[in-house]
Amino acid sequence: MNQSAPRDEYDQRIRQVMDYVNRHLDQPLLLDSLAGEAGFSPYHFHRIFSAMVGETPADYVNRLRLERAANLLLKSEQPVTEIALACGFSSPAVFARGFKQRFGVTASQYRRDRGQSSRMGVHPMAQPEQHLPVLDVRVRELAVVPVIYVASMEGYKREKICAAWLRLQKWASVRGLISEQTRSIGLSFDDPAITPANRCQYFACLSVPHKVVTNQRIGYMEIAGGLYAVGRATCSREGIRWVYATLFGEWLPSSGFQPAVQPPYEVYLQTPETHPQGLFEIEVCIPVVEL
């Protein structure tokens, strides 16, 4: 028997729960329902999840809710109470206590100071390169994108992300799933200025024309369609962060739109391996709604 198969099965079940949590933060997330997603009893699920993820299920849900709220405080004009309820908190008072405990300041202070007063510390935005790339932004209606993916759950470490891409491309290639129409997509769930670096989640994704039967290490999902602000740029690896900062800090505030609750994603039109200057040509797609 393949010794890695049981571990793969556990990894797949826990990844499924984490994906479910990411997509349902605005809804009640009780231990019984999360255990049901994993196919374990609540008692065993709590122990397994805590051991594999390093947080209890309740701590994981609460952290993601607070981090999503922190993102919305900086990147939208929604009232604090509305953000609290949209992120799944049972009341504004529960949110207020949890937010101050996590970030060391009130939600209003956090928004006013753009996160600088938080004990988490927003990383300063260094200029990524001598000549900043040109950013072309269009608001577009995008279709649902079916994708296969490999999750990198150990932060935005380059070696972990590269390993996820290699595994995904190898699996897809031998099954004839890569064609000229295939798009390479990165799905980034967390802002490293808010979420501890070792907790950031990244999915390496390849678009597919239809639903694909996968296994324990390769997932299938559909990226939601809808209205997106699509920022296109050619930049270095470090410049991708500048693209996000410009979209959220400059374009959105004057656009008449605010971010929707779904995470943004990146479409890699060219990578350093194929671009003549060794750069990325990317489209950063941010789901938006009108103010």
Q: Are 287 and 264 in contact (CB under 8 A)?
A: yes
Q: Is the pLDDT of residue 9 over 80?
A: no
In a domain, 121, yes or no: no
Total structural domains in the chain?
2
Q: What is the CATH number of the domain that holds 65?
A: 1.10.10.60
Q: Identify the band that residue 282 occupies on the pLDDT scale cut at 50, 70 and 90.
A: very high
If asked whether residues 198 and 279 sit together in one domain, one would say yes
Confidence at residue 156, expressed as pLDDT on a 0 to 100 scale: 81
**Cα–Cα distance measured from residue 284 to residue 247, given in angstroms and rounded to the nearest whole number:** 9
Q: Among 79, 112, 145, which residue terminates a domain?
A: 112
Answer yes or no: do 59 and 15 share one domain. Answer: yes
> Is residue 125 domain-resident?
no
pLDDT tens digits for 84-137? 999 999 999 999 999 999 999 999 999 988 766 555 544 444 444 445 678 999
Please state, in angstroms and rounded to a whole number, the distance separating the CA atoms of residues 245 and 237: 14
The pTM assigned to this predicted structure is 0.64
The predicted pLDDT at position 227 comes to 97
The 3-state DSSP composition of the chain as helix, strand, coil percent (nearest 5) reads: 40, 20, 40
Q: Residues 29-44: pLDDT tens digits?
A: 999 999 999 988 887 7
pLDDT in tens, 160-187: 999 999 999 999 999 999 999 999 999 9
- Shared domain for 70 and 174, answered yes or no, is no
For residue 231, tell me if it sits in a domain.
yes
Dihedral of alpha carbons 235, 126, 242, 87, sign: positive
Residue 8, token pair as written in the block: 């793969």
pLDDT surpasses 50 at 263: yes
Asked whether residue 223 carries a pLDDT value surpassing 70, the answer given is yes
Residue 186 lies in a domain: yes
Question: How many whole angstroms separate alpha carbon 206 and alpha carbon 97?
Answer: 40
- Do 148 and 15 lie in one domain? The reply is no
Instruction: Specify whether 233 is located in the same domain as 272.
Output: yes
Q: Please indicate, yes or no, whether residues 53 and 170 belong to a single structural domain of this protein.
A: no
Query: For the segment 229-258, what is each residue's pLDDT rounded down to a tens digit?
Result: 999 999 998 888 888 888 887 788 778 887
Q: List the domain range (segments joined by +) for residue 92.
A: 4-112
pLDDT for the residue numbered 131: 53
Note whether 154 and 239 are same-domain residues: yes
